[in-house]
Amino acid sequence: MSGRRWTSLHLLLLLLAMALGLCLGGDQVSSPIEIWSALAGGGSPDGEQPVERDILFYIRIPRVFAGALVGASLALAGVLMQGLFRNPLASPGVLGATAGGAFGAVLAVALRLETLAGLAVPGAAVAGTWFALFVVYALAAGRSRLSVLHLILCGVAVNTLFSAGTSLILTLSTDRYEISSKIIHWLTGALTNRGWEHVLLILPFFGLTLPLSLFLARDLNLLLTGEESAWSLGANLDRLKRRVLLLSALLTGGAVAVAGMVGFVGLVAPHILRLIQGPDHRKLLASAPLFGGTFLILCDLVSQRLIPPEEVQLGIITSLIGGPFFLFLLARERRPQ
């Protein structure tokens, strides 16, 4: 199939997932007819706004959009990272980006910054992500050439540091139940009560990054055949690495800010896509956001409907689905052809 057909197929699947999210989200199931009448604005004969309409407009629609954008951002960041590291096992977590974001958010929660400004916690998450990647970049770029191995090693170190910081804050907050439960909420990732302000928070990050990423497709393809080889065909490697890092920071920052730490999407989504449509980044960069969005909306639905009216944390669901699937892929790949 051509790249365009794949993109259309993925778009269709995303729209289906969004429709499912609207019908099945929350603790009650709505029929498509109910949804349609609420969307069309047909109130009851006595002129009152039906409560379904509010649920739809202020809870379900923003939640579905937020989910789509978070999934899209993580999947796109995953494609970029795996391309840069020439390793299908890389993900935004490798460079400490998610750990940095989580640390920022957790610190803000512990300091009760959300009482000062509504978006203090997401803002701190973005700052944490950027700070982590900045530290990694500054350490790795100290050499004359930006070496991928060096980046990974710095990422491991930064990851460890931020995770330790997060654990420390969590330990110090155990006697304050309210704060520690919020922290755990962040660390496992969720889309509960995400409204339009969250959609507006992540939208510029994603909207800015997607078109810029598409420009990197060919250079990322070349990089997969080796650095020297890529250089000989005109790829500007240092510039490419800087751009991939910057774009991944924007994407991961936005995603962590809205949903906390949602694991495995950035790892599994690109991997699945590569298996079904090949490693060409011109196709991957277009379809990964659509596929990631679909995947996250469906995971979010499972998290809402598994044991209603309780919600299971989204990050637990993505890991429960993504982890075994990933193991399956690895086992399948290793089988001799």
Partner 1 sequence: MISGSAAAGAGGLEPILRLENISVALGGCPILAGIDADFHSARVNAVIGPNGSGKSTLLRAILGAVPRASGRVLLGGREAERFDRRELARAIALVPQDTHLDFSFRVEEVVLMGRYPHLRPLERERPRDLQAVEEALRRLDLLPLRRRDVTTLSGGERQRAFIARALATEARLLLLDEPISHLDIGHRLDIFKLLSELARGGYTIVVVLHDLDFAFRHADRILVLDRGRKASEGEPQEILESGILEQVFGVRLAKLPSENGPHFTWKRVEK
Is residue 238 a contact residue for partner 1 (CB under 8 A)? Answer: no
Is residue 274 a contact residue for partner 1 (CB under 8 A)? Answer: yes
Q: What is the spatial distance between Cα 180 and Cα 329, in angstroms, rounded to a whole number?
A: 36
Q: How far is the CB of 266 from partner 1 (least distance, A)?
A: 17
Is residue 114 a contact residue for partner 1 (CB under 8 A)? Answer: no
Q: What is the spatial distance between Cα 169 and Cα 12, in angstroms, rounded to a whole number?
A: 43
Shortest CA distance to 128 belongs to which of 264, 258, 257, 259? 257
Residue 261 CB burial class (10 angstroms; 0-12, 13-18, ≥19): buried
Is residue 330 a contact residue for partner 1 (CB under 8 A)? Answer: no
Please say which residue, 28 or 87, places its beta carbon nearer to partner 1. Answer: 87
Please say which residue, 66 or 284, places its beta carbon nearer to partner 1. Answer: 284
User: Can you read off the two tokens belonging to residue 220?
Assistant: 């990322």
- 3-class SS at 192? coil
Please say which residue, 192 or 236, places its beta carbon nearer to partner 1. Answer: 236
Site string for partner 1, 75-94 (x = CB under 8 A): -----------xxx------
Please say which residue, 60 or 283, places its beta carbon nearer to partner 1. Answer: 283
Q: Is residue 311 left, alpha or beta, with left meaning phi > 0 and alpha meaning psi from -120 to 50?
A: beta
Please say which residue, 44 or 337, places its beta carbon nearer to partner 1. Answer: 337
Q: Cα 187 to chain center, whole Å?
A: 14
Is residue 224 a contact residue for partner 1 (CB under 8 A)? Answer: yes
Among 55, 203, 280, 320, binds partner 1 (CB under 8 A): 280
Q: What is the spatial distance between Cα 63 and Cα 294, in angstroms, rounded to a whole number?
A: 13
Footprint of partner 1 on this chain (CB under 8 A)? 86-88, 144, 214-215, 218, 221-222, 224-226, 228-229, 231-236, 274, 278-280, 337
